[in-house]
Amino acid sequence: MDSSRRLETGDTPLKNVRNNIVQSIRAHRVQDLQDAASKLGHHFLYANLATAQSKQDVLDLIAQQFMLPAHFGKNFDALYDCMTDPVHKSGPQPGFVVVLEQIPANAKFDKEAREQLLDIFRDTADYWADRKIPFRCFYSFL
């Protein structure tokens, strides 16, 4: 068993969370997830979307808080691209813990838009699963 797997089965809040998943944050605390990512040597990406009203706001906030490159196209396809291939090509990746907190639920960012956003992260989880890299995304709605 490699050391990162041993850690995951130990005392982190990720011990009962499978490697490549997008799920509600539920009882997890953001700080605990960040600490677990640090302990495992994984990237921790956090975006608080509480002030977003529209798809463009959501993408702008994710771009700012994830520190995406300036050329980020600010659409869902570009978000997927930024979360996958260029990162994979930059070298070996240890894993990812992503938190999308307070995703808006309003007329300008409706259920369909929320599902499209989460689908991007599900597709990203699948991408990393194919490469045997842990990718866990936790989310909450406003």
**pLDDT, tens digit, 9 for 90 and up, residues 57-115:** 999 999 999 999 888 888 999 999 999 988 888 989 999 999 999 999 999 999 999 99
**pLDDT, tens digit, 9 for 90 and up, residues 40-53:** 999 999 999 999 99
Domain boundaries, the chain: 3-141
Q: For residue 30, which of 78, 100, 85 has the smallest C-alpha distance?
A: 100
Distance CA 45, CA 109 (A): 22
pLDDT at position 12 over 70:
yes
pLDDT at position 9 over 70:
no
Q: What is the pTM of this model?
A: 0.90
Residue type, 14: L
Report the pLDDT value the prediction gives residue 34, as an integer from 0 to 100: 97
- Topology of the domain covering 3-141: Barnase; Chain D (3.30.370)
